[in-house]
Amino acid sequence: MRGVLIMSLFSSFGRPEAMPGAAIGLGAEQRAALRRQLIEARDAFSESPDWGWASAALARHLDAVLVSLNPRCLGGYWPVRSEFNPWQTWPREAALASLQRALPWARREPRGMSYRLWDGSEPHELDGCGIPSSHGADVSPDVLLVPCVGFTRTGWRLGYGGGYFDRYLAAHHDVFTIGVAWACGELPASRFEPQMHDRPLNLVITQDGVLESAPSAEVQFGRPAASWPLSL
C-alpha cells in the first residue's frame, strides 16, 4: 500500500516524455507538493495502531547504531508534529547514558544552523525558526540525527525545504549522518533526482531496520561521505 501511494505521487509529477524508471527532476512547486503529501501520510501513520510498535522498533535500531558508533557528541533534534522522538525514555541503553547531546539552532538571517549543547531537559528556548532548542554553548557534533520527510535507499533526503541541514553539511564534511524516518516516507531511488546542493546520508533508520546508504549514494555526484566503522 505504501509503495502504491508513493508511486502515485510520482506519476502525477512525471513528464510524459520520461522513460519508464528514469529519474524525475521535480521543480520547486512539485517538491513542495510531494513534501506536503508525505507529511500528511506520516501524520496519518502517527494515528494508526502501528505507531506504538514502530516507535519501539525504530528506537531499538537507533540505539544499536549509536552504541556501535560510540560518538563523542550526538547532534539530535527536537521532534515536531509526527517525527520520531529519539529522546523518549532516554537513555534506553546504559552505554548511552553519558553521551553528550546537542540540538540545532537555526537562524533565518543570514540563513544557517549551528548546534548547542543540551542537558536533556525539555527545551523552552525557540530558535530563529520557532523550533525548540537549547541555550547551551556552541559545539560541533561528530554524529547527527537528521529528520527526513522522505528518503531513498541510496541515501538521499527530502527535507522541509529550508536548506539548513544542507548548509551545515556542506561546511562539515566529516560529520556522520543518520537519517531518521518512518518507512512510509521511502521514495523510489530510481525516480527521485537529488539537487546539486544535496548531500547523501550515511545511514537511514526506520522502524523496518537500518539502510547503509552512503557507498551507493556517493556515486551520483562523486561527493565524499563521512566514513565510520560500523558493526551491528
pLDDT tens per residue across all 232 residues of the chain: 444 444 444 443 333 333 334 345 567 788 889 899 999 999 999 999 999 999 999 999 999 999 999 999 999 999 998 999 999 989 999 999 999 999 999 998 888 999 999 999 999 999 999 999 999 999 999 999 999 999 999 899 998 878 899 889 989 989 999 999 999 999 987 767 777 767 889 999 999 999 986 444 343 333 344 444 444 4
Per the CB < 8 A criterion, the answer to whether 160 and 104 are in contact is no
Is 232 a domain residue? no
Residue 228's pLDDT is 44
Q: What b/e string do you get for 189-211 counting C-beta neighbours within 10 Å, with b at 16 or more?
A: bebbebeeebbbbbbbbbbeebb
Is 81 a domain residue? yes
Is 230 a domain residue? no
Dihedral Cα 174, 89, 136, 229, nearest 10 deg:
-10
Measured from the Cβ of residue 111, the count of other Cβ atoms closer than 10 Å reads: 13
Residue 26's pLDDT is 65
Count of the separate structural domains present in the chain: 1
What pTM does this model have? Answer: 0.82
Residue 111's pLDDT is 87
Residue 41's pLDDT is 95
CATH number at residue 160: 3.40.50.10420
DSSP 95: G
**What domain range is 25 assigned to?**
2-221
